[in-house]
Structure 1
Amino acid sequence: MRGIVLEPVGTVVGGRVEAFDDDWDTEQAVIRVDGTRFGPESLAGLDAFSHLEVVFQFHRVEPASINTSARHPRGNPDWPKVGIFAQRGRNRPNLLGVSRCRLLAVDGLDVHVRGLDAIDGTPILDIKPYMAEFGPQGPTVQPEWATELMRAYY
């Protein structure tokens, strides 16, 4: 397999400056789209959506802290050890994050959002409108530890 090269489409401006869990719904930030590659027309029609899906890079994770095995989520021994692909922690092999957030406004190349769980300076790899039809078809299931972990996340 060959490597994949991605060029960020923008950067997070504002919001949290340090990553810590919980209460992300209180955070507002701007995704500033790269004006050297894109014009405002690249965002035309985005303001008709209430939510976005944002793909980003966990740019502050040190390579030595990347986890490829099982661990207790958030280091909580009350929760089972689960593999890196059964959790959404930032110390992932490809350092990719995916977040759904509320779209507040589009102003030129600035996309104003609330609830994006990425910090100031985060490289944004893609922005997609959230469409209900891309959500799960039918009921979803998750373990109780995941529900407990997410209780205060947003």
Structure 2
Amino acid sequence: MGGEDKAGLIESQPIARVVGGRAEVRESGWGREEAVIRLDSSMFGPEALFGLEEFSHLEVVFFFDQVDSREIDRGARPLPGGPDGPLIGIFAQRSRRRPNRLGVSRCRITSVQGLDVHVTGLDAVAGTPVLDLKPYVREFGPHGEIRQPEWASVLMRGYY
């Protein structure tokens, strides 16, 4: 478990799974989705979640297990909806076809019960392996002005 092997690869294992919520990936309406993040009972007891209910939001690191390794993007591609648009590199987008297939999502905590964290707005489907949970702490958020290209705002309309 954990650590780094001689080839420089990082080992990791799921700490939880997404239960309920969406069964398939769609590109809109995630803000209404309700799901449960269920800790692995062979690794954790309920005490691992003590205090989490005091936070409003959670950052979830998960593995895009439904993305085939042959679908991974390593370069750039046009924006969705138009092959004539600008090319956008994989590290300038939030695509699930990332080289390490890692996703990061912020969602609202609705309750914590035993090994279950009930959330709204998690953009991961049922069965998704969860690698880490972190309470969202305001001081870890961005400082100063935030900027992004207009195309990013257009793409995200309706996502949440």
Q: TM-score range by the shorter chain?
A: over 0.9
TM-score relative to the length of structure 1: 0.97
1:152 is matched with: 158
**Tell me, what secondary structure is at the counterpart of 1:145?**
helix
Range moving further from structure 2, 78-87 or 20-29: 78-87
In 1, the alpha carbon distance for the partners of 2:59 and 2:42 equals 23
2:102 matches 1:96: yes
2:121 matches 1:115: yes
Query: Aligned-pair distance for 1:74?
Result: 2.6
Deviations 1:24-82 (A, max 9, x none): 01100000000110000000000000000000000000011001010123353364211
Structure 1 residue corresponding to 2:60, chosen from 48, 51, 54: 54
Structure 2 residue corresponding to 1:125, chosen from 123, 131, 155: 131
**Tell me, what secondary structure is at the counterpart of 1:136?**
coil
2:11 matches 1:41: no
Q: Is the 8 A contact 1:73 1:87 kept in 2?
A: no
TM-score relative to the length of structure 2: 0.93
Range moving further from structure 2, 31-40 or 75-84: 75-84
In 2, the alpha carbon distance for the partners of 1:37 and 1:19 equals 28
Q: Is the 8 A contact 1:67 1:91 kept in 2?
A: yes
Query: Aligned-pair distance for 1:151?
Result: 1.4
Q: Post-superposition, which runs of at least 4 consecutive aligned residues in structure 1 deviate over 6 A? A: none
In 2, the alpha carbon distance for the partners of 1:99 and 1:50 equals 14
**Tell me, what secondary structure is at the counterpart of 2:80?**
helix
Provide structure 2 residue ranges, at least 5 long, that are not aligned to the other structure: 1-6
